[in-house]
Chains A and B, each alone.
Chain A
Amino acid sequence: MSALRFAEARSEWLDAFNADPAEELDSLLRGYTLVPPYQRANPSEVAVRLFSALGKDDPLMGLLDQSLVEWIVARLVEPEDARLEVGINAYIQHVQEALTVAHRLPLPLTVALLHDRFSDLTSWTERLNLGSARDLRADYWQTLALVQTRRSFLSLWNRCCDEAGGGLPDSYLFIGLLGLQHLPRRDGDADFSHELLTGLARWASHLDDNDTDRHRFLREWRALALRYPRACATLRNVVAPMLEVYAAQPFAKWWAEEVGIEENVKGEPPHELAKKEVEALLAKLPNLSDVAMYLEVEAMAEARKRYVDTFKDAYDLVRDFDRLSNDILERASNFSLHLSHSAVERDKSDAFSRAFMSAALHQLGLADGAELVPLEAIRRFPDDAVYQSDLAKLLAEQGRVAETEALYRETAKRLLDDVVSRTALARLLAEK
């Protein structure tokens, strides 16, 4: 009876979608599709109801994935008039619904697009903001947090935690913590990961020592702890190392009390000390003799490595080593290579460390080695255009124009949305 009517309506819509996927998906996302009994549901909810019963390998799911990619790309390139025509409030809702569909259904092509077009999508979405419920950049980053397939957005999530309530709205703490919760795990990582706790601590480092901030911290911690119910002893074990690191911050004592740790280590947190040391070292490097430079950089690097190997948080180390590698690249290429290699060992997805490593090898006259670095990265991260671009630049510097052209062509063909390789190819052809 009514169940039959609902099944017929669903089947009818899926047939129409199969016949004209672009039109039907557009209509669905904009809220123009009425499928009983879900007429009053949000468009993404309707999409979930229509597609979730299909397997992820169903051809219609594939068609949805492809159509959603095309729909999002079409929005990126359409003129501003298109937004004004539907009304900016409605326009943002349509894109929000598309992003919701992207994380609620298994759509690998769409997920790849959200990864690969990060810069384009971020700069596009940050212009579409009518307040917290219509902040399209927040929705995009939130979706990315939920679907991320590689660890390369770690710095983004840390930034959200660091800057929430400062350079970014308060609500971005949620995005940062969500990103850290869904960060692809390495072998042996706990679900209550060190990165997640560090994200909370980064945010909490900006809190003052007063009751309001104490309550804010406890509320966030309790919300997080309830997502990962653990025995008290386990919580103490995961929190204790954090208290050592952040002992001087007001939130450390609140955290210690909360999980039942009687005393926490006092003194300046190691990561704060390390940051200051790196700043000081960079400032005095130009005035040091070569020998003194070697000794000081090596001592600092060893201390930093010991810290990271103890606390399993390589984020700051990688950034500091990148800065040092760059600074001493020409003066001490071999030591620059050592630092960038140490950074790559601790975070294999960091593109900057690899670029410095390759540059150092090039500087040392080891052209083959310099080429191997981006080649190895391409093997590991075939969909990340940045490594293809690094390799192409290297080849171009060596005057290997034909190989450079072939690589740009191959990248542009394989990664359809990569603007960098297309622009570089156009420039190369113009210069020929």
Chain B
Amino acid sequence: VEATEKLSRLTKPIAITVTFQAKLLTSAIAELQEARKAEHRAYAHNFHFEERLSAGRREKYEEALALRGSSLKALNRAHGAFISNRINVTALSDISDPFYPVNQDATIPPLQQTQRLVRIEDLSGWMDSGVFPKDGSALARTVRVARNGPSESGDPAKVEAEDALSAYVEQWNGKRDGRPGFAALHDEVRDDLRSDDWAERLRDQLGLGRLTGSKDEPLPVALMIYTVSDVLEPLAATPDQKLYAFCAPTVIDSRFNEYFFPSPRPKAAIDISYGRTVDLASVVPDRKLVCEMLHRPFRYRQEHIARIGWIRSGLPNHEIWDLRNAHLCRLRGETGRDSFGAEMKPDERA
């Protein structure tokens, strides 16, 4: 009976939430929906289930897309160009598409200024390019010394470490562009941060599928902790800039990604509706999904680097359809939207 029910769920037609006007785009998404590969069908689902694109934002996307065919290649090319030009804007002070009023359906209302946020930064490229020292252990020691005790303690070793980190962070800021920052709420991952393998746990909890490492080649990462106020402070005093500084991520805010899952539109009774990260570690609904958001990028300060860690493993060995279906089940449960989205069929190769 269970198998029959599952089959019936999987073969049910998908309820399409967002309607694109451009015919080529609609055809391209339809083609993806029928694709053999699971990741391609995931990209199609992400378009289909997206509820947080306002008509204005959707129109702007379609205008900018310059699609020249309905194949995945054509769609990906056009979408990649859109990301490079409209999302990865040139400077931290420039405004990326998600932070304009036209993105109102995804905007997250003002948060408490003292709310702490977390984010993982992959340092491997920054170390290779000389921005941070190649010796990750030495960098980790420096961060430990800098984070040891109150900032006004006057401990010379701490001051030296803070100064060195400031120089690295300044150089880093200079090379960072204005792409949005993905972040989660610190309170929701507090327990994971207590663990020795916090880097892997956060990678899994935050759905960061691109961050893989091994025992022989661990991937260095930085845990960034900062407040809502740190994000808002540098913004211009114009109300719009601060009002639209946080939003739930949508399908058009980053490259196509099988580990992204759109979030449902908030119910009227719920004040804030964040995005939700896809948990890479578990297909069992044993914990609450982590809230995620995009925010305006800002110039980091040395004190935002909370610690350095390493990812020493590949991704947990779950199939993408199991992860996404488990995510959907939890998402429906947590938001009370039982009809949101649709389950995904297993890969035909499996």
**Nearest CB on B from A138, distance (A):** 8
Which single member of B85, B164, B176, B314 contacts A226 (CB below 8 Å)? B164
Stretch at the interface among A38-46, A388-396, A401-409, A421-429: A38-46
Nearest CB in chain A: distance from B215 CB, A: 15
**Stretch of B74-82, B147-155, B184-192, B267-275 at the chain-chain interface:** B74-82
Within the complex, the shortest CB–CB distance from B211 to chain A, in Å, comes to 9
Q: Is the CB of B129 within 8 A of A142?
A: yes
A148 within 8 Å of B (CB atoms): no
Please, which residue of chain A has its CB at the minimum distance from the CB of B92? Answer: A133
Is B336 engaged at the interface, CB distance under 8 Å to the other chain? no
Main secondary structure of the interface of A (DSSP, over half): helix
Residues of the B chain whose Cβ atoms lie less than 8 Å from the Cβ of A219: 163-164, 166-167
Chain B residue at minimum C-beta to C-beta distance from A179 = B130
B167 adjacent to A145 (CB under 8 Å):
no
Given A2-B315, A34-B76, A219-B166; A133-B91 close (CB under 8 Å): yes
- The stretch of A85-93, A185-193, A243-251 that contacts the partner chain: A85-93
Q: Are A223 and B91 in contact (CB under 8 A)?
A: no
Kindly provide the distance from the CB of B224 to the nearest chain A CB, expressed in whole angstroms.
Answer: 17
Chain B 292-322 interface 0/1 with A at a Cβ cutoff of 8 Å (1 = within): 0000000000000000000000111111100
Can you list the 5 inter-chain pairs with the closest CB atoms, starting with the nearest?
Answer: A223-B167, A90-B84, A37-B209, A41-B210, A87-B85
* B contact residues around A38 at 8 Å (CB): 209-210
Beyond A39-B210, A90-B81, A133-B177, 10 extra complex contacts between A and B, CB < 8 Å: A32-B73, A32-B76, A40-B259, A42-B125, A90-B85, A93-B88, A146-B128, A178-B130, A223-B167, A226-B133
Q: Is B171 an interface residue (CB 8 A)?
A: yes
A3-B317, A226-B138 known; A133+B176 contact, CB < 8 A: yes
A131 proximity list for chain B (CB < 8 A): 90-91
Q: Specify the chain B residue showing the minimal Cβ separation from A41.
A: B210
Once the chains are docked, how many angstroms separate the CA of A86 from the CA of B86?
A: 12
- Tell yes or no: B39 within 8 A of A by CB: yes
20 A–B pairs (Cβ distance < 8 Å), ordered by A:
A2-B320, A5-B347, A30-B80, A36-B320, A37-B259, A39-B209, A40-B210, A45-B124, A87-B85, A93-B88, A103-B129, A132-B91, A132-B174, A132-B175, A133-B90, A171-B171, A215-B163, A223-B164, A225-B164, A226-B160
Q: How many residues of B contact A (CB 8 A)?
A: 59
On chain B, the residues within 8 Å of A146 by CB distance are: 128-130
| Chain A residues within 8 Å of chain B by Cβ, number | 55
Are the C-beta atoms of B257 and A40 separated by less than 8 Å? yes
Q: Among B83, B160, B171, B257, which residue has its beta carbon within 8 angstroms of that of A174?
A: B171
Q: Which residues of A contact B91 (CB under 8 A)?
A: 130-134
**A229 CA / B131 CA spacing, docked (Å):** 17
**B320 CB → nearest A CB, Å:** 7
Q: A32-B80, A40-B209, A89-B84 are in contact. Are A145 and B175 (CB under 8 A)?
A: no
Q: Whole-angstrom distance between the alpha carbons of A86 and B66 in the complex?
A: 11
Instruction: With CB as the reference atom, state the residue of chain A lying closest to B76.
Output: A32
- The yes or no answer to B122 lying at the interface (CB within 8 A) is yes
- B50 in the interface, Cβ–Cβ < 8 Å? no
Q: How far is the CA of A3 from the CA of B164 in the complex (A)?
A: 39
**Distance from A360 Cβ to chain B, minimum over Cβ atoms (Å):** 41
A1 adjacent to B256 (CB under 8 Å)? no
Residues of A within 8 A of B125 (CB): 42, 44-45, 100, 104
In the bound assembly, the distance between CA atoms of A16 and B315 in angstroms comes to 25
Cβ–Cβ contact A142 & B317, under 8 A: no
Is the C-beta of A432 less than 8 angstroms from some C-beta in chain B? Answer: no
Q: Which residues of B contact A30 (CB under 8 A)?
A: 77, 80-81, 84
A45 close to B122 (CB less than 8 A):
yes
Q: B100 an interface residue at 8 Å Cβ cutoff?
A: no
| Shortest Cβ distance from residue B327 to the other chain A in the assembled complex, whole angstroms | 15
- The answer to whether B130 and A145 touch across the interface, beta carbons within 8 angstroms, is yes
Q: Would B130 and A223 count as touching, CB distance under 8 A?
A: no
- Within the complex, the shortest CB–CB distance from A173 to chain B, in Å, comes to 9
B242 within 8 A of A: no
How many angstroms between the C-alpha atoms of A49 and B257 in the bound complex?
17
Mark A11-47 against chain B: 1 for CB-CB distance below 8 A, else 0.
Answer: 0000000000000000100111010111111101100
Give which listed residue, A1, A32, A134, A145, contacts B317 with CB less than 8 A.
Answer: A1
In the complex, chain B residues whose CB is within 8 Å of the CB of A182:
130
Indicate if the CB atoms of A222 and B76 lie closer than 8 Å. no
The reply on B14 being an interface residue by CB < 8 A is no
A402-B160 Cα distance, complex, nearest whole Å: 65
Given contacts A218-B163, A223-B163, contact A89 B89 (CB under 8 A): yes
Q: Is A220 an interface residue (CB 8 A)?
A: yes
Interface residues in B186-213 by Cβ distance below 8 A to A read: 209-210, 212
In angstroms, how far is the closest chain A Cβ from the Cβ of B256? Answer: 6
A42, closest chain B residue (CB): B125
Residue-wise, chain B 212-245 has the 8 Å CB interface mask toward A (1 for contact) of 1000000000000000000000000000000000
Contact B164–A133 (Cβ < 8 Å): no
User: Which B residue sits closest to A36, measured CB to CB?
Assistant: B39
Closest to B125 in A: A45
User: A34 and B130: CB pair below 8 A?
Assistant: no
Nearest CB to that of B79 among chain A residues?
A32
B84 touches A31 (CB 8 A): yes
Q: Say yes or no for B345: interface residue by CB 8 A criterion.
A: no
Closest residue of chain A to B139 (Cβ to Cβ) is A226
Q: A31 and B255 in contact (CB under 8 A), knowing A5-B347, A132-B175, A145-B130?
A: yes
How far is A93 from B175 in the complex, measured between Cα atoms in Å? 12
Which chain A residues (96-132) contact chain B, with CB distance < 8 Å?
Answer: 100, 103-104, 130-132
Is residue A227 contacting chain B, with contact meaning CB distance below 8 A? yes
- Give the nearest-CB partner of B122 in chain A: A45
Chain A residues whose CB sits within 8 angstroms of the CB of B176 once the complex forms: 133
- Tell me if B254 counts as interface (CB < 8 A to partner A): yes
Mark out the residues of chain A between 173 and 202 whose CB falls within 8 Å of any chain B CB in the assembled complex.
174, 178, 181-182
Tell me the complex Cα distance, A145–B319, Å.
43
B142 contacts the other chain (CB 8 A) = yes
Counting CB contacts under 8 A, is B51 at the interface?
A: no
Chain A nearest CB: distance from B133 CB in Å? 5
The answer to whether A37 and B212 have CB atoms under 8 Å apart is yes
CB-based nearest B residue for A39: B257
The smallest beta-carbon distance between B24 and chain A, in angstroms, is 17
- Structural contact, A220 and B167, CB atoms closer than 8 A: yes
CA of A171 to CA of B209, assembled, Å = 33
Minimum distance in angstroms from A147 CB to a CB of chain B: 11
Q: Which residues of B contact A49 (CB under 8 A)?
A: 212
**CA A229 – CA B63 in complex, angstroms?**
54
User: B91-129 vs A: 1/0 string, CB under 8 Å?
Assistant: 110000000000000000000000000000010110011
Task: Tell me whether A227 and B133 are in contact in the complex, defined as CB-CB below 8 angstroms, given that A1-B317, A40-B209 are known contacts.
Answer: yes
